[in-house]
Each structure stands twice: as C-alpha cells, then as structure tokens.
A = this chain, B = another copy of it.
Amino acid sequence: MLQKKQCVAMLLAGGQGSRLGILTRHTAKPAIPFGGKYRIIDFPVSNCTNSGIDVVGVLTQYRPLELNAYIGSGTPWDLDKNTGGIFVLPPYSTGKDGEWYKGTANSIYQNMTFIDQYNPDYVLVLSGDHIYKMDYSEMLAYHIEQEATATIAVRQVPWEETHRFGIMNTDANGVITEFEEKPANAKSNNASMGVYVFTWEKLRSHLIADENDPNSNNDFGRNIIPNMLSQNEKLVAYTFDGYWMDVGTIDSLWEANMDLLKDPPPINLHDRKWRIYARNVGRPPGYVGEKAKISNSLVAEGSDVNGVVENSVLSGGVVVEEGAEIYDSVLMPGAKVCSGAVLNRAIVGENSVIEADAVIGEKDAEIAVIGNNTVIPQGHKVAPGVQEGK
C-alpha cells in the first residue's frame, strides 16, 4: 500500500541500559543528552537522513514517552514525509494479548508487518547507543555488490581489547567465516559495530525460523548471525575506519564527550555535508559574562557562563554562576552550578542544581554522576564514582 523502499532502517533502542545507572532511571538510553546539544539517537538517525534512508523504525519497550516526544513528527531529521518517516514501535497486541520483546531479533520479528508495508529489498539494523558518522548507503552498495545475505560493519580494535567485542573472522575476500562473541584469544581484531545490512527476504525467513526455536534467545549476535553462518549464507564484513564510540557506560559516555574537546576532535560535527540534526528548543545565544573564563570547552546556546569552565561540555540552558569552577565535566541541559561550587570529572543530569560551595568529584578520580532534576545542597560533597540523585 505504501511506496516501495529500497532500504528500511530499524533502530534497536534497547532496554533500560542499566550500565548508565541513574541517568537511565527515568529515560531511555537513546534519549540521553550528548555533546552539548544532541541526544544519542541523533547520531544514527541523522546518519540515516544523510544516507538517504527515509523510513526509520525505533524499537523500544522501555519508557518510550520521552523518545516519542523527542522524535515527535520527525521534522528535525527531515523524516516528516508523506512517503516515509520515523516511527516509535513498542510491542503490541494482535488479538487478546501481546508479547514483550524477547530479544533484538524478536523485536524485529514482531514488526515484520511494519517492514513489509514498504516492501524493501534490504533492512538496515542499527543500535541506539553509538556515536559515529557513517554513510550507510556505501555499506548498502557494498552489500549489493557482494550479493550477501548479511553485511556486518566492523572496525579494527586494539588486540588487547578484542575480548570485549564480537569478533568477525574473515577470509581474504572479507567473507565472514566465524563469529566469536568476546573471545579470550581472538583470531582477528575486526569487532562488530552493531550495524547490519540484511537482504530482507533472507532475514525474514531466518527470523521466522528463530522464533520457532524455543531454545533461542532471539538475539542477533547470539542466534541469527551464528545460524546464518551455519547455514552457509554469505556474510561479509564491511570495514569502517571512522570514529565510533559505544556510550553504554558512564565512563564511555564521559570519554566520548571529552573526545569532542580534542584538537582536532576525532569526530567532526562542523561538517556541513553531514550534519548531526537535533530537536531545536528555541534557546537564545549563549552569554559569556564579565568574569567568565572558558577554555577548551564546548558551550551550547541558552547558556549563561560567569565562572571558570575548563575541558568541559556545557549543554543548552546551563547556568554557571560567578565563582563556580567546572573541570573535565559534562553538564546536561538546564543544569545550574552556583557560586563557589567546584566540579571535577562530573556528569550533571538535566535541570539539576549544584548549590553554592558543593564539591562534586575529584581530579584524576572516577566520574561522579548527578541524576536529572536533582538538587545537591549547599556545601554538600559528592565523592568520585558516586551516583546521586533521583
């Protein structure tokens, strides 16, 4: 009924993301602020827009309201079209009762009808917790050229880190011969990025087979990919050598923010030809006060900075009073730091207030995290590695 699409994207927005602790207590992971004016989901979705993919399904069953509100009509990413768009897809009922998503593969299985509406040749499967700029259309072209069943994006990781990743062993032609999940002794350092292109017809039958297997975890990495390999489907690796960062933990979230402060930053967000789009909230330009001292930092619009800010990322609407000091920290939208407060290696959630003379974190120590909508009282101290807040 709808217009045919060559390729439809399905974004696995994931579950609670417990490794991000307090930050995801009331928020789905993809909706977490990043880099001063983005949310994590802006990266894969903008990549889709820039790659010419105009149908994006967002699979989630965890607190979709904020994601729903953030995504809205899809306008910020040019996804508010008659012939395409972005759709939040929670589980649903087809008769008396419904079923929650059992795994990544099951979430796609449950939305086969959604995909079939567009009669696509290919489906792009993405994750909702990675920061990177990637032209999926090139990967798709490679997939088509290789006549593969699945193409898996990989990047080379340091050999000493291979045990943390899904490793793809390939032959000389880039055809995947083996997939090892977090191997102790890796044979290759090609780690999966969680970005897949599938030929829809093939994936579709594999999803149905997987659903009928009562022993399956209904997971892409653990079931679908190994099954495809064992059935001699052609799976190829597509090497990506740009910046890519999994921001699924507090440390990596902080680190990825800090990466933006490097000179030059490993990921260029100034690129006019590959914009990362974000929802606009209509904030005025930032104001930098008489006594402000900002150095090596990113500061977004709507901020009002009057204190010392070093090596930090300040989001929209952040207020820093005179006499406050912020080092190596990430302040999410609307956070306020009062006079005399000192932050070191801290992440401060949305709309939280650090009252006067409070001390958050320490130099060269673990990251301290303040949740959203939290008030840290005057003079209070939050130790490194501690998470405090609502």
Contact = CB atoms under 8 A, between A and B. Distances in A.
A202 interface: no
Contacts of A2: 69
Nearest to A111: B65
Contact of A100 (B81, B93, B280): B93
A379 interface: no
A62 interface: yes
A98 B74 CA distance: 26
Given A74-B73, A85-B73, A65 B80 contact: no
Contact of A80 (B16, B80, B117): B80
A97 interface: yes
Nearest to A279: B82
Nearest to A116: B65
A305 B63 CA distance: 49
Q: This chain: how many copies in the complex? A: 2
A2 B80 CA distance: 20
A323 interface: no
Interface in A39-87: 60-65, 68-69, 72-75, 79-82, 85, 87
- Of the four ranges (under 10, 10 to 19, 20 to 34, 35 or more), the interface on chain A belongs to 35 or more
Given A73-B80, A92-B90, A65 B100 contact: no
A115 to B, nearest CB: 10
B87 A90 contact: no
Q: Which secondary structure dominates chain A's binding surface?
A: loop
A61 B92 contact: yes
A94 interface: yes
A114 interface: yes
A167 to B, nearest CB: 30
Interface in A213-243: none
B74 A87 contact: no
Sort A-B residue pairs by CB-CB distance and give the 10 closest, nearest first.
A73-B73, A73-B80, A90-B90, A61-B93, A64-B92, A62-B93, A65-B114, A90-B92, A68-B87, A65-B113
Given A69-B114, A72-B82, 19 more contacts: A60-B92, A61-B93, A62-B93, A62-B94, A63-B92, A64-B92, A65-B111, A68-B89, A69-B87, A72-B85, A73-B73, A73-B80, A73-B81, A82-B280, A90-B90, A90-B91, A90-B92, A91-B91, A98-B100
